[in-house]
Amino acid sequence: MTLAESEADGRVAGRSGILGWMFFDWAAQPFFTVIITFIFGPYFVASLGADKVAGQTAWANAATVAGVVIALTAPLAGALSDATGGNKRFIGSLAIVQIAALCLLWQAAPGTGYFWPAVMIVLATVAAELSVVFNDAMLPRLVERGAITRISNDAWGLGYLGGMIFLILFLLFLPADPDTGLTILGNPPLFGLSAVEGEPARLAGPLSALWYLVFLTPMILLTPDHVKAEAAGRRLKGWLADFFATLLSLRRRPALFRFFIARMLYMDGLNGLLILGGAFAASLFDWSITEIGIYGMILNVAAILGCFCAARLGHRVSAGRVVIVTLSMLIFATLGVVSTSVNATAFGLVPLSSADGGLFSSGAEKAFLFYGVIIGLAFGPVQAGSRAFLARAVDVAESGRFFGLFSLTGRLTSFMATAGFAVLTSWTGSPNIGMASLLVFLVAGLALFVPAAAAVSDGRS
């Protein structure tokens, strides 16, 4: 069967090709789960300098720089995908950058400062996010339109499962209690790692790089890739014109235009939650690496359940409805997080018990876990639902351009969310006030998305 015949049939990949594509999320997720959110991020904030507020500001600034670079380069990635195909070669090239940057995180010893670790985080984040653009642009060519929502959610859920398994193995064998020197299992940490020197958190970088290398292989070997004759160098000359042509085409597709503006806003809030949430919890409750890791496991279990439930409902509930429900959940949970202090929630209206020395023993920690579970249930489906919404709304031939725009709108103003957090936290000394800025993006995004979803019939603009 020729490629044209396969495209006419609506599907060009067999089961192994689709599974290989889904394994990209499995390979990529530990970077976001372990490095950005739950292990290295909190370590960066707490240990690389003397001041946790300065650490949170530096971490937010690194996220801001990465967001600006991604916003500028994601449309180019989408244009290259549409014009030249061969998405796997771009993913492979970006993997080299990401793996090298993650391996160099081992050098981030306590007290060595923020700059070079932040540079490595920026490089790894840019490479990871641009790889997502190329990977997402492959989806419309791989499956029938009716299966897009299910496959998208299943892949996202598989990614969270991979991130959770990595996190569990990490917590069981590597970090040790500073007092006893033993892991959760009661054994010395593997490789004789020193908690005082931050070696478990530093090793998370090379280990996540190894995981990515191993589990990216099925996608590279099994998933079919569409290659066109046009050279990448020639395409670079015309990508800006194509980008503006794509933007101008949205005048004829008002629902799609509203979707992109809405996603630009609500993804800013969501990215802020994912990037800053673990560090915020660690600072608020003085959690150890083990407590942060367990919190991450809880969120990942919730995320897996959320994605798989959304996937099973994909043939009954539209992707638009999934996005609306999950955004509402995120707004409620973020409001709860912002309202929580060490001994109360709901802005002090609900006093809670103090810690008695056990794991998550204070009432405020339990409340934070409750809000975290809601975030976990929602943040996977809102992203997978958004991806499915777009994949059903555009034609295969234009998928790369629009997924480049999709990534752009997910990052275009993300620096505003993290920068807002950094400025407000630095100005007021209160991370809670900094986190409150995320609500603006989530609420505004939901308000714009509702009419966009109502205007779309069967996922089309």
pLDDT of 326: 92
For residue 393, give the CATH number of its domain: 1.20.1250.20
pLDDT of 357: 67
**pLDDT > 70 in the chain, percent:** 86
Per DSSP (E only), the strands in 204-313 are none
Q: Using pLDDT thresholds of 50, 70 and 90, give the confidence band for residue 458.
A: very low
Is residue 166 within 8 Å of residue 210, measured between CB atoms? no
Residue 243 domain-assigned (yes or no): yes
pLDDT of 459: 44
Task: Give the chain's domain count.
Answer: 1
Measured from the Cβ of residue 233, the count of other Cβ atoms closer than 10 Å reads 8
Confidence check: pLDDT of 201 > 70: yes
What does the pLDDT average to over 187-206?
A: 88
> Per mean pLDDT, which range of 9-23, 56-70, 364-378 is the poorest?
9-23
pLDDT of 227: 66
Instruction: Looking at mean pLDDT, say which of 247-251, 397-401, 431-435 comes out highest.
Output: 431-435
Task: Convert the pLDDT of each residue in 227-266 to its tens digit.
Answer: 665 555 555 566 667 677 777 778 888 888 888 889 888 9
Domain that holds residue 282: 13-455
Cα torsion 346, 347, 352, 357: sign? positive
pLDDT of 237: 60
Mean pLDDT for the chain overall: 81
Which comes out higher in pLDDT, residue 308 or 266?
266
Q: What backbone phi and psi angles, to 5 degrees, belong to 174?
A: -115, -60
Contacts with 372 (C-beta within 8 Å, 6 or more apart), sequence order: 277, 281, 295, 298, 299, 302, 333, 337
Residue 461 domain-assigned (yes or no): no
Which comes out higher in pLDDT, residue 338 or 195?
338
Task: Convert the pLDDT of each residue in 15-44 to its tens digit.
Answer: 888 888 999 999 999 999 899 888 898 889
Residue 283 domain-assigned (yes or no): yes
What does the pLDDT average to over 323-351?
A: 88
Which comes out higher in pLDDT, residue 332 or 381?
332
pLDDT of 414: 65
Q: Which two tokens stand for residue 261?
A: 């503006």
pLDDT of 332: 94
Q: Using pLDDT thresholds of 50, 70 and 90, give the confidence band for residue 120.
A: very high
pLDDT of 229: 52
- State the Cα–Cα distance between residues 80 and 242, nearest whole angstrom: 10
DSSP designation for 49: S
Residue 271 domain-assigned (yes or no): yes
- State the Cα–Cα distance between residues 187 and 172, nearest whole angstrom: 9
Residue 7 domain-assigned (yes or no): no
Contacts with 122 (C-beta within 8 Å, 6 or more apart), sequence order: 62, 65, 66, 69
pLDDT of 402: 78
Confidence check: pLDDT of 401 > 90: no
Calculate Rg over the CA atoms of the chain.
21
Predicted TM-score of the model (pTM) = 0.72
CA distances (Å), origin 309, targets 28, 293, 374, 384, 415: 22, 24, 14, 12, 32
What does the pLDDT average to over 135-147?
A: 78
pLDDT of 130: 92
Which comes out higher in pLDDT, residue 160 or 162?
162
pLDDT of 234: 55
Confidence check: pLDDT of 310 > 80: no
Confidence check: pLDDT of 399 > 70: no
pLDDT of 137: 81
Residue 225 domain-assigned (yes or no): yes
Residue 1 domain-assigned (yes or no): no
Q: Which of 247, 222, 220, 218 is nearest to 79 (CA)?
A: 247
What does the pLDDT average to over 389-393?
A: 79
Instruction: Looking at mean pLDDT, say which of 74-78, 171-175, 284-288, 334-338 comes out highest.
Output: 334-338
